[in-house]
Amino acid sequence: MEHQNEQQEHKQTHHIISYKEHFSTLVALLLLTVLTVSISVFGAELRSLSVATALLIASVKALVVAYYFMHLKYDLKIYRWLVLLVMVLFVVFLVLTSIEYLNR
């Protein structure tokens, strides 16, 4: 059993992602781009909403790039934890700066 796990882990670190999977990732990213541009161009009257959705869609796109193109899906878990750590760190900076400026 343990031996099997080891083998699986070994396989995971050297997993070859197929061309098809990369192409599907691109299609997903292009669809998200179409979505975010059309919301901005056609939904101009929903101003604050469109900024929030634009950032939300950008974050989803960034996660898709990191997870599939940057191989996070098949890499060791430590990379996912590190990425999460850096994201949390940035959000902390963001929140602290906002609080500081909103209270002036």
Residues engaged in binding other proteins (CB under 8 A): 13-14, 16-19, 22-23, 25-26, 29-30, 33, 36-37, 40-41, 44, 47, 50-51, 54-55, 57-58, 61-62, 65-66, 68-71, 75-76, 78-79, 82, 86, 89-90, 93-94, 97-98, 101-102
Name residue, tokens 């900024």.
Answer: 51
How many Å apart are CA 45 and CA 27, to the nearest integer? 29
Q: Please, what is the minimum distance in Å from the beta carbon of residue 20 to other proteins?
A: 10
Closest CA to 35 of 58, 2, 18: 58
Q: Please, what is the minimum distance in Å from the beta carbon of residue 62 to other proteins?
A: 5
Report the residue number, 7 or 33, with the smaller CB distance to other proteins.
33
Torsional sign, CA 45, 51, 56, 59: positive
Q: Which helix (H) or strand (E) holds 47?
A: helix 47-64
Q: Please, what is the minimum distance in Å from the beta carbon of residue 1 to other proteins?
A: 23
Extract the tokens encoding 101. Answer: 């400026």
